[in-house]
Structure formats: C-alpha cells, structure tokens
Amino acid sequence: MSAESLKEAFFERDSFEVAEALIGCRLCRKSSDQVISKYTISEIEVYDGFEDRASHAFKGKTKRNSVMFGPAGRLYVYLCYGKHWMLNITTQRYGYPAAILIRALSECEGPGRLTKRLSIDGGFNDLVANKNNSIWFENRASQTVQLKKMPRVGVAYSGPVWSQKPFRYCLDS
C-alpha cells in the first residue's frame, strides 16, 4: 500500500475507532528547510466527550480547548505545565469535544519530547493537518498492527474510574 495522507474524513468518526486506525500510522513534518521527516506513531491517548473527567472539555468549552469542539482533523496544541507543548488531533463531529494526544513516536518517546523534536508549538493550534501546513498524517505501511490498551498517563486527578480506563493505545512490538 502506498503512503496516503489522511484526510479530515478519516478523523470524523468515533474517537476509539480512529485511535485503533491511527496507531502505527506516520506523523509527517516538513521542516523550515523543506526536509520531510516521517515517524511511526507508537503511543496515543483518547480524550472523548463531555463526561471524560480527564479531558480538557469536561468542564465545558473555553478559549483554550475550543479547538476540541471544532471540526475533525485539526491540531489541538497546548502548553502543559508551562513548558511542554502537547500535540493532539481532533476527532468526531463538530460540537462534540474529542481529541487524540500523540504521546510517542517509535523514534521519540514522550509527548513533550516529540513536539520539541518536530518544532511544534502553539502556532500549530487549530491548523488542519495537511501538507500545506507542513504537518500531516499518512496511512500505515501494513494493514495490521498489534496494539495494547492501558490506562492514560498523568490523569489521577480525574478519579479512580476515569484514570483507569484503557484509553491509551500502544504498539505492541
């Protein structure tokens, strides 16, 4: 299968379906000197809906999280702890808050490390993920991947039920 850019329609569906399809895909980034780098997505987390106590959208729409409520296929980039940029891609339908955090690439572990490595900052927030914006996603090289589901990282504040939901997807090597 040839590498094909994932369009907004890919992300306009159930967040958990998108997560299973996105793990193992490629995150592509064109640098300012026009070099294209492609990385395999190895770990992601789902933040879905109004009831998800770990989601930024749990307490409603704000200026910071408004991208989560917009159309699917947009980048939701925010600053965590005042020092690390976090890269998410929105899913679902307009008006429903959902996004998938890109936690790790096979070549780079940690959401803060990957945004630093790819020179991603708040200027990417609310951009459509496509080649025109120098950051996009491509389909997997293979149709099948082995994945494992685990609890999300760093969400103990959401309580014992939500912090233990298996909403983190990892490539199982």
Does 165 reside within a domain? yes
Task: Tell me the CATH number at 63.
Answer: 3.10.300.10
Distance CA 148, CA 166 (A): 9
- Within 10 angstroms of residue 47's Cβ, the number of other Cβ atoms is 24
Does 144 reside within a domain? yes
Residue 152: closest CA among 50, 38, 19, 62: 19
Residue 85: closest CA among 71, 75, 95, 97: 75
Does 3 reside within a domain? no
Domain range for 121:
8-171
Mean per-residue pLDDT, 7-23: 95
0.75 exceeded by pTM: yes
What's the pLDDT tens digit per position in 29-45?
999 899 999 999 999 99
Distance CA 130, CA 164 (A): 33
Does 98 reside within a domain? yes
What's the pLDDT tens digit per position in 34-82?
999 999 999 999 999 999 988 988 988 888 889 999 899 999 999 887 7
Does 2 reside within a domain? no
What's the pLDDT tens digit per position in 90-103?
999 999 999 999 99
How many structural domains compose the chain? 1
Does 107 reside within a domain? yes
Does 1 reside within a domain? no
What is the per-residue pLDDT for 2? 56
Which H or E run includes 40? strand 36-48
Mean per-residue pLDDT, 120-145: 90
